[in-house]
Amino acid sequence: MFELVVEDRDIDAAIYQSDRHQRVYRAVDLYAERIIRSNRDEDAKADLWFVVIPDRVRQYCRPRSSVQASVRINSNLIVPPEQAAKAHAAPFMFAEMNEASEPYQFEPHFHNQLKSRLLHDQVLTQIIQHKTISAPSTWSDRDKDSLAKMQSQIAWNLSTAAFYKSGGRPWKLNGIRPGVCYVGLVFKQDQRGKDTRNACCAAQMFLDSGDGVVFKGAVGPWYNPVRGDFHLTRRAARELIEVALKSYMDRFSEPPKEMFLHGRVRFGDEEWQGFVDAADKSTAVVGVTIGEGERLKLFSTSTIPVLRGMAWIGTERSAYLWTRGFVPRLRTYPGLEVPNPLHIGISRGNADIHTVLSDILALTKLNYNACIYADGLPVTLKFANAVGEILTAGPTKGTPPLPFKHYI
């Protein structure tokens, strides 16, 4: 077991900086540099690092946080922030100015930036606020009630996440067909440039075993500000899926029999052709659109809402699926509102709608990061925003395909 200590005085010197980017960058440095140095110097490497942060780190190291004047430390600004933010595209002539611009290449968000900066060294972390695991005698009056009620949930979440990130598999789905992979597409706008169309793309591939891998694609003009959606070019789509399928081939020595692509919007003709180009001729490629079916609600005449897993099949290619609802095994509905269904559509390729619905329902149970029976969204889309935020939190050029657990 390794233990690295970050002194309070060092934390305060970082998080009270007046400049937001420098504040977060210095705070992340205190943890990231120590972890990376230990990983490189020690023969025995830690499987998982628990990063316990004081509550004030979370308070001051977020995008909209500010420091009160009584404790604020004026930051030394060698380069104006507006110019420093552009240094990744147009570097300065002098090394000192480029070095001073480094904090502005990252999102001023402690959690996302730490995860992003550790990707290159493939370090697994579990970030925890100190009060979450502190003794009850130290709880403030404001937190006392909520923390007391959440002790079992905290214990479950931490133990399950630690087991998963250390290489274990907390549970496995039963009845999933072999030779099938599920790919969820991830898009996140890149705010570092002037072009609002620029976005990062990635693919999350999940196997029948429950294992997941994230593959980063290219940054490009994938966002359409008029329609508010994302679409790839044929080439970008092909290259992204080629990387995912190569990983599958390396593991199983044969292409998948079926590949289901999950997205929030219907795939365009050009990007779909790119997906098909990347797949082996023996692989059946199916595009599935998954959205919130808020237009439809079913009300029960009793106190029990609709059953989780119920579906209303409209056509051979579309249906409504209730992934939230009453769970007979638990004898309760783990929710407060009338459950909304998901609208499922087979937008490309051919598959049996019953099979598609069954797979999606199963994929809602692969969240190893929370103390809940099942999610409303399949894991292919559930963490799309979280993965996208880490991929765009800083420069990640050269980051290899990494297991999904690096991003949660």
Report in angstroms the alpha-carbon separations of 237 from 201, 249, 263: 9, 18, 13
* Domain ranges (residues) in the chain: 8-149, 180-407
| SS3 (DSSP) at 268 | coil
34-48, 161-175, 309-323, 380-394: which has the highest mean pLDDT?
309-323
Report the alpha-carbon distance of residue 289 to residue 65 in Å, rounded: 37
| Residue 194 banded pLDDT, cuts 50, 70, 90 | low
How does pLDDT run across 147-160, given as a tens digit for each residue? 888 888 899 889 99
pLDDT at 264: 92
Side chain identity at 137, as an amino acid letter?
S
Tokens of 65: 């946080």
Side chain identity at 359, as an amino acid letter?
D
Tokens of 149: 């009620």
Q: Does domain 180-407 have CATH number 3.30.420.10?
A: yes
| Residue 276 banded pLDDT, cuts 50, 70, 90 | very high
pLDDT at 89: 67
- Alpha helix ranges (H) inside 192-292: 234-252, 269-278
Question: Residue 283: pLDDT above 70?
Answer: yes
- Alpha helix ranges (H) inside 70-189: 81-84, 95-101, 110-118, 141-149, 151-165
Compute the average pLDDT of residues 166-178.
84
Compute the average pLDDT of residues 44-60.
94
| Residue 192 banded pLDDT, cuts 50, 70, 90 | low
pLDDT at 103: 87
Question: Residue 333: pLDDT above 70?
Answer: yes
- Specify the range with the lowest mean pLDDT, choosing from 121-130, 231-240, 391-400: 391-400
Question: Which residues fall within 8 angstroms of residue 284, CB to CB, at 6 or more apart?
Answer: 257, 258, 259, 349, 350, 351
Question: Residue 124: pLDDT above 80?
Answer: yes
Report in angstroms the alpha-carbon separations of 241 from 206, 212, 231, 307, 382: 13, 14, 14, 36, 20
pLDDT at 302: 84
Give the global pTM.
0.89
Mean pLDDT, all residues of the chain: 89
How does pLDDT run across 20-43, given as a tens digit for each residue? 999 999 999 999 999 999 988 888
